[in-house]
Chains A and B, each alone.
Chain A
Amino acid sequence: MFLPFFEWCDGLAISQAYRQSLYLFALTQSLHLVAVTTFFGAILIGDLRLLGWGPVAQSRAGIARSAQSVLLWAGLAVLVTGIPQFTTHALTYQRSPIFVFKMCLLAAALAFTATLRRRVAAADEGRLPSWVPRAVGAVSLALWMGVTISGRLITFYG
């Protein structure tokens, strides 16, 4: 169904430039990992706070608010470095179950972070039963760790 899209990605000038260069893909991949690490750090500090650990002297909303700008900038860097990696090997990834799994998990993690996690982090501390932020923190951590791990496994089994 998506084959024409993958073929279009594969034929882009940037994809060809990446395939022809010895260094471009590797350097982009390395910067992608720095961006992913920063993004994950901003998620983790928020999740630790939701779980009732980490910087507990600060409010959940305060940590989430401050982490948000890091998430946005690091997320942008993840995208900018991730897209050329995808287009360069679009036809390979199209057949990769792990890549498809990662993308589904990523969509779930993004949706969860932008909706439920965001609302729970912003809610007044006394308003919710204590298990709610803890559960949200645990689910968020599991989702994002799953995205990171499946992303790494693409190299081995993609």
Chain B
Amino acid sequence: MPSIVPALEWLEGLAWTTAIRESVWGYPMIETAHVASIVAFAGLVIMMDLRLVGLAFTHAPLAQIQRRLFPWQIAGLVPSTATGLLLCCIDPMRYYGNVFFRVKLALLALAGLNAVVFHLKTYRRAERWDEDPQATATARLAGVVSLLLWSGTIVSGRLIAYNWFA
């Protein structure tokens, strides 16, 4: 299988990635914007998850609250993805060798998959959520899985700073 290392080394050697990596403000500013947008995005996802699980906002119909939060979740997801990709471009070899980065990517993929399945399958029964016990049980399970996956993503993302297993 061809290695992706030469491509990452090429990326790392580009003038603009080197300039940002070596500047005093570039990396910290992008990293901080990444964290700020994640906190907004994941914060609203967690609020929806707590509603799905039945721990908060239980007076609000599930479908209604999800419909109203969704655009704001996307508004947080777009900048967090953009800044995350930028961070990968700036220092690709550092992330490539980092165990927690790989764990984060795996959890991110699972969290994304969970969200897509939830939207495509469970969400179609959204109008019945608050009356149908089976739909409520499925929604509750989706909420628990989402809470675990996003928490794991945040924890592993923070641990990227510590390369214990290099």
Question: Is B162 located at the chain interface by the 8 A CB criterion?
Answer: yes
Cα–Cα, bound, A22→B161 (Å): 13
Per DSSP, chain B at the interface is helix
Q: Is the CB of B159 within 8 A of A30?
A: yes
Name B44's contact: one of A34, A45, A153 (CB within 8 Å): A45
Per DSSP, chain A at the interface is helix
By size class, the interface of chain A is 35 or more
Name A157's contact: one of B28, B42, B44 (CB within 8 Å): B28
Q: Is the CB of B28 within 8 A of A153?
A: yes
Q: Is the CB of A67 within 8 A of B36?
A: no
**Stretch binding the partner chain, chosen from A10-18, A58-66, A124-132:** A58-66
Give chain A nearest CB distance to B50 CB in angstroms.
Answer: 6
Q: Is the CB of B39 within 8 A of A29?
A: no
Q: Please report the number of residue pairs spanning A and B whose Cβ atoms sit closer than 8 angstroms.
A: 108
CB-CB under 8 A from B38, the residues of chain A are: 37
Name A152's contact: one of B35, B60, B154 (CB within 8 Å): B35
Question: Chain B residue with minimal CB distance to A29?
Answer: B158
Question: Chain B residue with minimal CB distance to A144?
Answer: B39
Cα–Cα, bound, A157→B68 (Å): 38
Name B155's contact: one of A34, A57, A66, A70 (CB within 8 Å): A34
CB-CB under 8 A from A94, the residues of chain B are: none
Cα–Cα, bound, A42→B69 (Å): 12
Known contacts: A37-B46, A55-B68, A148-B35. The answer to whether A26 contacts B40 by CB under 8 A is no
Chain A 91-134 residues near chain B, CB threshold 8 A: none
Question: Which residues of B are interface residues toward A (Cβ below 8 A)?
Answer: 28, 31-32, 35-36, 38-40, 42-47, 50, 55-60, 64-65, 68-69, 72, 151, 154-156, 158-159, 161-162, 164
Q: Give 12 A-B pairs besides A30-B156, A41-B44 with Cβ atoms closer than 8 angstroms.
A: A29-B158, A33-B35, A37-B43, A44-B72, A45-B57, A57-B68, A58-B60, A62-B60, A67-B57, A69-B56, A148-B36, A149-B36
Q: What are some 5 contacts across the A-B interface (CB < 8 A)?
A: A26-B161, A40-B40, A62-B59, A66-B59, A152-B32
